[in-house]
Structures are given as structure tokens and as C-alpha cells.
A and B are shown apart, each in its own frame.
Chain A
Amino acid sequence: MSEVLVALAGSPNVGKSTLFNRITGGDVHVANWPGVTLQRAEGRTEHHGVVLRIVDLPGTYSLSAQDIGERIAREFIVEEKPDVIVIVVDATSLEKSLYFAVMALELYQKAVIALNMMDAAEKRGIHIDIEGLESKLGVPVVPVSALKGIGLGVLLDRILDVAQGRMRILPLKVDYNGLEPFIHEVERLLRERGILKKYPCRWAAVRLLEGDEVLLDELSKEDPELAGKVRSIRERARIELGEDPERIAISSRYSLIDEIVSSTVTRVRLAAPTLTEKLDQLMLHPVTGPISSVLLILFTFFLIFAVNTGFPLNILFDHMGYTELAALIEEYSLSGILGSFFDWLSSAISDWLTPMGYADWLVGLISDGIIGSIGTLASFIPLLLMAYVFLGAMQDSGLFPRAAVSLDNLFRRFGLSGRAFFPAALGMGCSVAAVVSTRAMDDDRERMVTSMASPLIPCQARLLVLLALASAAFTNPLEQSALTVSVYLLSFVLYLLTSKLLNKFLFKVEYAPDLVMELPPYHRPSLRVIWWYARSNTEHFVKKAGLLIFVLGVVTWFLLNFGPTGYLSQGDISKSYAAILGNLLTPVTSLIGLPDWKYALAFEVGFVAKEGLLITFSSITGAADPVEALRSMGITPLKAVSMALAMNYYVPCLATVAALFSELRIGKYVLLTVAIEIALALLLAGTAYWVGILMGFS
């Protein structure tokens, strides 16, 4: 069967991912673009017996190769020479989204324009002359609604028409006015020398005059003399025209767009105040904006907590006297269901293997070590999925950019922009998700600072440990919640302060990056898109970090079950390698008032995954309920406070360290992140403990 390579391109917020998801039906493979952590999604579909391989290019406002996304999109088009590029534009705001289309058509002519959100445009009284637009742009234009799945068959027809050469395509020519003679001059030079041949000649000439660094570098390498000539032509143009050639070029493209829009778009009536305007009065207000942003995040996390762990509904009902209901909620929360499933699986396998005469240690390895690690990995999945569903919904609905705007003012004081709120909010779900989400930032320093600071925010796993500590050491529910809430508040403060210090001492820059961000109109999030986004990101994580978590889980099992005397069949954990390792760390844990090797061991296991702390307490004491386990270890309120602080900050979990490494790509910074956390844990827990001792607690 013949195959056609299609590249999907367009600006952010034009519905490109919705269209991608619609066309491919979710049959998508996610990987990274070579050399960067930016995600590359590829899917396929079949139409009239032809396979269409569709690559989703990064959403960018331009193709100037100014940032990673633009560079990747441009390189893909030039190097891979796709059979067709589908340029997605927003029918409700052609004035803006045609800019990318014009840039793309100048570079590559085998294109089809997907005029998305056509239904919304018609509703707002915007009529577009499709044939007029086709003749102006020189390529087929297909009105579609990605959200509703309208027009996709025609779009695929046109894609095949262009790919198979059944369509006459006319080159788009932008009139660059005063710049034209200079463009011809550069074009002639490029032709004479036969240089930069993979680019359209006129396009290359315009870009060189605009001062495209990537292209100038390429030219300097091939022909330094010509590069010098081009630079002097550009200088001459600037002097003769009295204006920056770059500005002339951008204005000329916008003039063409204005001309196209005025001849093809008719607005029947002015829209009444839209939902967007009304909501923006709330979201962008100096007082209600930040409050509603925070409330929104809290509400969503309340939902995630409740579905994943039953918290806080279980505690609420417990205190109201409905103990059975609370237990039921906990049992049927996602982590409860997964937990019981893997417990069942583990004992079923053990029951099945034991009579077959296998050695005890092998049965233990398979049923506890391997199944247990898969269970740990599986417990991550709902947390990640939920966190990504949240991220997707916030982005897709248009709320995320507003929250960033309303909190910008607070974050500036710490050398961050409003965008930094997002990793912090996501970190309440999972630090891995938080670290990965920083790649959406366009300021490189802010991206690195926030990914290093976001693991300070307590994730769901740490919440579980925190709740167990609070319930074990305090009887008064008020004291229990006071401990939990203070750790959260402290963590947010530390997130901001750590960012400030990293800015100051590591990056030596203190000013906050400037926010320049489009605020797309609000709309009801598309469940399809959110689900696809959440699923593909989670899959990507499981593939990347999964093996690591699995291997370390098995290693921990070995350490807990083997000692210098061999396999510890009776589970006498104090003779295990793990206990020996735990004892190595006790000099450090003594500093924070926890001299017992059991705490030290729990910290070691908790590095793999923070819920490992609770699992360790349970396996050491033999009490299934971690609260009981902690009580039997003689936990006191003071020890609980010290433990809570230490546990939250002592080190990001293994999966987070792996994510940090893949995002930062600088080992030194990952080590620094770990060092900062260890220092914070010792400082905070140590201070809390020794101040407590001085005040007469024990």
C-alpha cells in the first residue's frame, strides 16, 4: 500500500491537537524530537487505500527558528519534505492565524489549509469566501470543525489530491515593497553560487535579509565570503530604507493578510459580550483573579485526591462518625482498588507456586519482589493520568493562561513569571508530572529553576505518609490537620524561596522573565483531546521510568529479604542487608531525632517511591496498617513532626530524579537539586526536633 507523509502545522490554540487526534483516531505514537525533550507525536490513518503517516509539528507562531519548536518544525519541513503539510488556521481569527500560514506557504507549497472552528465562526456571524481564500493562497482550503468532526473526509481527499499531484498549486507571493530589490540581489547571489539549495531561493533571500541566525550560520559555514556580502546588503537595506528589514518583512506579511481578510471575510453582526469577556472580568480582576485561580486549583485537586485516595472524604466521614462509609470510600478509591488487586495477585501467585516445589526465595521474589514493583509502578499510573487530565483540561479550557496572568505579580518577586504556578500546582499530584510540565515555559532559566524547585511540593505519595504520621502521633483531628496543612504551606513558601535563591546564586539573574502569552478564548474542554493527551503522556512516562522503578523495586526486595546468612525465610528483617544499610544512615537520622535503623531504612526505601516509607514500616513491624506500625515503633508527636519534614524534603523520589535528568540534561543541576533537598530536610527537621526538645517535648 502506498504511504503519504503528512505534517500537521499551525500556531498554538488553533485546535491542531484536536484535529490530529480526530484524524488519527488516537492511534498515536509519542516520542521525543531528536536531541530535545519536546514531544513528537506521530499517528496514522487510511484513506482510499492509502496510508497517511501524520506527524504533529510543534505549535508555533512563526517559522523563524527562534526557539526549539520553530526550529524543529522548519527542519522537519525542509529535511523530510513531507508529501503534504496541513496548515491549521482558526476561522474565528484569520487576522492572526494566517500569519503562520503565510510563513509556511512561502517555505513549502505542497500544502492544504484546514480552516478549523468553522462552526464557531458561523455562529459568530463570520462568513468566509472559501474559493476566494483558495485563489489568494494558491492551495486548497477546507473548512472543518475538529471538535465536531466535520469536514474531515474532504480534508483527507484534498491531502491525497495534493500528495498525488492532482491539484494545481500556485506559489504565494508576498510583496515586500522596498525590500524587493535587495531580495533580488541576494537571490541572484544564492543562485550564482548554488548555495542553500534545499530552501526555496526567494524564501532564503528574505530570511537572510530578516537576519535569520540559523540560516546565516549555515551560510557562513558553506561560504563565509557570501555570508559577509549578504550581511552588508542587509545593512545597506536598513540604511536606505531607514527601517529594520525584519520589521518591513513582518509588516508586509501582515499587509497581505489584511488584504486577504478584507476581501474574503464578511462579519454579519457584532457578537454580544461573550462568555470569554464575562469570565475575564472575574479571572483578570486584581483581587478575584488570583483568588479564583487558587480556588480552581484546590477544587480540582480535591477531586483528584478523592478519586485516588479517598482523602479528604474518608477523614471527613470518619470524624462525623460514619466509619464504615469512610472505609468504603478508601477501599474503592483508585489506589485502594489497585492495592487490593496486587495484594490478591501476589498471594495467588505465591499459593500457586509454593506447591510446585520452587524454592521459598524464588516464590518470594516473584510474588513480592516482582509483583510488588509492578504494583508500585501501577499505583503511579492513576496519579499521573489524573494529573495529566487536570493539566490538559486547564490548558484546553483556556483557564491555565489566566491563572498564570493573575499570579504573575506575586511570582515576579521571586524571579519567576506567572507560568511558574503551574508546576507547583501539578506537583501536588505528582512531582514527575510537575517536572515534565516545565517544558511548556519559553524562558530557559525559568524552566530549569522551576523544575528544580517543584519536587519540594508534597505529591500524593507524600500526602499518604503525612496523613499516616499525623494520625499515628496525634489524636486530636485539629492537630492532625494542622500538621498536614503547615507542611503544604511551608512547601509552597520553600518553592518560591528556592527559586529565588537558584535565580540569584546559580543563574545570577534576578529579574523575572517577562510574560508574553496569548489568552485563547475559553471553551469547554474536549474530552477526547484531554484523554488522548493524558494517555499518551502517561504511556510515555511508563516506558521511560518504568524499567528503572521495576529494577529498583526488585533490588529493594533483595536487600530486605537477604542478609549475610542468605535468604531470610522467616522475614527476620533485622539481619538483612537492608538493616545493615539502615544502620549506615543512622548517624545522620540521629541528627533529626530518629536514631532507629528502621527509620533510616524507610528513608532509603522511600527514595524509590515515597509510599515505600509506609510499606517499610509495615513490613518491619508486621502490622498491615501503617498507622498501627508507626505506633508500635513508639512514634511521638515530636518525632512525627521531624519525620514529616524530613520525609517531604529529603530527596526527590527516583522517578522524579529520572525526570529531572531527562529535562535538565545537566547532571550537576540534578545533584544540586538533591543536595538542596537533603540540606533542607536536615535543617528543618533538625531545628524542629531540637527546638522541641528544648521546649520539653520528647
Chain B
Amino acid sequence: MDGNLLPLIALRPGQRGRIITMNVGRGKARRLMELGLLPGEVVEVISNSLGPVVLRVRGMTLALGRNVASRVWVEVIP
């Protein structure tokens, strides 16, 4: 299971992952969790190239700057 633990920025468009942990400050973590980015939640990456990572979570489309996106670790769902 550890083998496919990746930061969000490593996911390709169309790939899905289950959030395992978020390595961000307390205020930011609260903001992300209230937007629905909770550990255990499944996210689908929509676009991920140069800029922010765009993903869908709980029926909402969210853009996450690359710095935050590199701190959210997910378990890839094959």
C-alpha cells in the first residue's frame, strides 16, 4: 500500500486517489477540510500540467496551487 502513496501533483488527469494525509499548516488544513478535502475522501484529478492542480471532490471542482498539492498525499486507486 505504501508503494502507491503519492502527492497529488504526481497524479495524471483522470487518475483517482484517496486522501491519506495533508502536510500543511493548521489554518490551511482547516480550510481544505472544510472544502471537503478530508482524509479518506476520494479525489479525481482533472488537469495537472504547469499551473495549479484541478481536481474534483464531493461534486465540486477545486484548483489547488502546486505547493499545497505537493503536500496532500493520496493512495492511488487503480
Q: Which residues of A contact B (CB under 8 A)?
A: 61-62, 64, 66, 92-93, 95-96, 99, 211, 246-247, 250-251, 254, 276, 280, 284-286, 289, 401, 404-409, 417-418, 511-521
A-B pairs with beta carbons under 8 Å apart, 20 shown: A64-B30, A66-B30, A96-B35, A96-B36, A247-B33, A247-B38, A250-B38, A254-B36, A254-B41, A276-B61, A286-B50, A405-B52, A406-B51, A409-B51, A418-B51, A513-B65, A514-B28, A516-B63, A517-B52, A518-B61
Additional A-B contact list (9), CB under 8 Å, known A95-B36, A211-B26, A519-B61? A246-B30, A251-B39, A515-B63, A515-B65, A516-B32, A517-B63, A519-B54, A520-B61, A521-B61
CB of B26 to closest CB in A, whole Å: 8
Q: Contact: B58 with A408, CB < 8 Å?
A: no
Q: When chains A and B are docked, how far (Å) is the Cα of A211 from the Cα of B28?
A: 14
A285 contacts across to B, CB distance below 8 A: 47, 49
B14 contacts the other chain (CB 8 A): no
Q: Which residue of B lies closest to A95 (CB)?
A: B58
Nearest residue in A to B68 (C-beta to C-beta)?
A514
Nearest-CB distance from A11 to chain B (Å)? 9
In the bound complex, do residue B65 and residue A516 qualify as a contact, i.e. CB atoms below 8 Å apart? yes
Chain A contacts for B46, CB-based, 8 A: 280, 284
Residues of A within 8 A of B36 (CB): 95-96, 99, 254
Contact among A64, A96, A246, A405 with B60 in the assembled complex (CB-CB below 8 Å): A96
State whether A286 and B49 are in contact (beta carbons under 8 Å apart), knowing that A61-B35, A516-B32, A516-B68 are contacts in the complex. yes
Q: Are B62 and A284 in contact (CB under 8 A)?
A: no
Q: Please state if B65 and A514 are interface contacts (CB–CB under 8 Å).
A: yes
Instruction: Give the docked Cα–Cα distance between A406 and B53 (Å).
Output: 10
Chain B positions within 8 Å of A406 at CB level: 51
Contact across chains for A93 and B58 when beta carbons are under 8 A apart: yes
Collect the chain B residues with CB atoms within 8 Å of residue A286's CB: 49-51
**A-chain residues with CB within 8 Å of residue B23 when the two chains form the complex:** none
Find out whether the CB atom of B63 lies under 8 angstroms from the CB atom of A405: yes
B67 at the interface (CB under 8 A from A): yes
Main secondary structure of the interface of B (DSSP, over half): mixed
Say yes or no: A418-B52 contact (C-beta < 8 A), given A96-B60, A405-B63, A519-B61: yes
Closest Cβ neighbor of B24 among chain A residues: A514
A517 touches B62 (CB 8 A): yes
Residues of B within 8 A of A62 (CB): 34
* Given A66-B27, A99-B34, A250-B34: A408 and B65 interface contact (C-beta under 8 Å): yes
> Which chain B residue has the least Cβ–Cβ distance from A70?
B34
Distance of B69 from chain A, by nearest CB (Å): 9
Note all chain A residues with C-beta closer than 8 A to B41.
254
Q: Say whether A401 contacts B63, CB under 8 Å.
A: yes
Nearest 5 CB-CB pairings of A with B: A514-B65, A286-B49, A515-B65, A519-B61, A93-B59
Which A residues lie within 8 Å of B35 (CB)? 61, 96, 516, 518
Q: Chain B: interface residue count, which band?
A: 20 to 34
Contact residues in A for B63 (Cβ distance below 8 Å): 401, 404-405, 408, 515-519
Nearest-Cβ distance from residue A203 to partner chain B, whole angstroms: 16
B7 to chain A, nearest CB (A): 14
Q: Which residues of chain A are near B65, meaning CB under 8 Å?
A: 408, 417, 512-516
B20 at the interface (CB under 8 A from A): no
> A68 to nearest B CB, angstroms?
14
Q: Which of A280, A514, A516 has the most CB of B within 10 A?
A: A516
Determine the chain B residues whose CB is within 8 A of the CB of A514 once the complex forms: 28, 64-65, 67-68
Q: How far is the CB of A612 from chain B (nearest CB, A)?
A: 41
Which chain B residues lie closer than 8 Å to A64 at the CB level? 30, 34
Closest-CB distance, A71 to chain B (whole angstroms): 14
Whether B51 lies near A247 (C-beta < 8 A) is no
In the complex, the answer to whether A405 meets B31 with C-beta atoms within 8 Å is no
For residue A635, give the distance in angstroms from its CB to the closest CB of chain B.
Answer: 45
A448 and B56 alpha carbons, distance in the complex (Å): 31
Contacts of B47 in A (CB 8 A): 280, 284-285
Q: A99-B34, A247-B39 are in contact. Are A518 and B60 (CB under 8 A)?
A: yes
Closest to A60 in B: B34
Given contacts A284-B54, A286-B50, A409-B51, contact A519 B62 (CB under 8 A): yes
Residues in B neighbouring A96, C-beta threshold 8 A: 35-36, 58-60
Give complex CA distance A407, B52 in Å: 9
Chain B residue nearest in CB terms to A61: B34
How many angstroms between the C-alpha atoms of A96 and B59 in the bound complex? Answer: 7
Task: Give the CA-CA distance A354 to B70 in the complex, in Å.
Answer: 75
Write out the residue numbers on chain B whose beta carbons fall within 8 Å of the beta carbon of A251: 33, 38-40
Q: Distance in Å from the Cβ of B63 to the closest Cβ of chain A?
A: 5
| Complex contacts, A61 vs chain B, CB 8 Å | 31, 34-35
Q: Smallest CB-CB separation from A402: which chain B residue?
A: B63
CA of A286 to CA of B56 in the docked complex: distance in angstroms? 18
**With the chains together, A664 CA to B10 CA distance in Å?**
39
Q: B54 and A405: CB pair below 8 A? A: yes
In Å, the complex CA distance between A520 and B61 comes to: 7
Inter-chain contacts of A289 with B (CB < 8 A): 51
Bound: A409/B69 CA distance, A: 14
CB distance from B34 to the nearest CB of A (A): 5
Separation of A211 and B27 alpha carbons in the complex (Å): 11
**B61 proximity list for chain A (CB < 8 A):** 276, 280, 518-521
User: Contact at B52–A408, with CB atoms within 8 Å?
Assistant: yes
Is B51's CB under 8 angstroms from A405's CB?
yes
Instruction: Report which residue of B39, B49, B58 has the largest number of chain A beta carbons within 10 angstroms of its beta carbon.
Output: B58
Instruction: Tell me the nearest residue of chain B to A250, going by C-beta.
Output: B33
Cβ-closest chain B residue relative to A62: B34
Q: In the complex, how many angstroms separate the beta carbon of A279 from the nearest chain B beta carbon?
A: 12
- Say how far A136's CB is from chain B's closest CB, in angstroms: 18
CB-CB < 8 A to A254: which residues of B?
36, 38, 41
Taking the nearest CB of chain A, how far is it from the CB of B21, in angstroms? 11
User: A511 to B40, alpha carbons, bound, how many Å?
Assistant: 30
* A62, A286, A406, A515 — most chain B CB neighbours (10 Å): A515
Residues of chain A with a CB closer than 8 A to B30's CB: 64, 66, 246, 250
Contacts of B52 in A (CB 8 A): 405, 408, 418, 515, 517
**A99→B57 CA distance, assembly (Å):** 13
CB B70 to nearest CB in A, in angstroms, measures: 10
Query: In the complex, A254→B33 CA distance in Å?
Result: 10
Interface centre among B29, B32, B33 (most CB of A within 10 A): B33
Q: List chain B residues, Cβ under 8 A from A519.
A: 54, 61-63
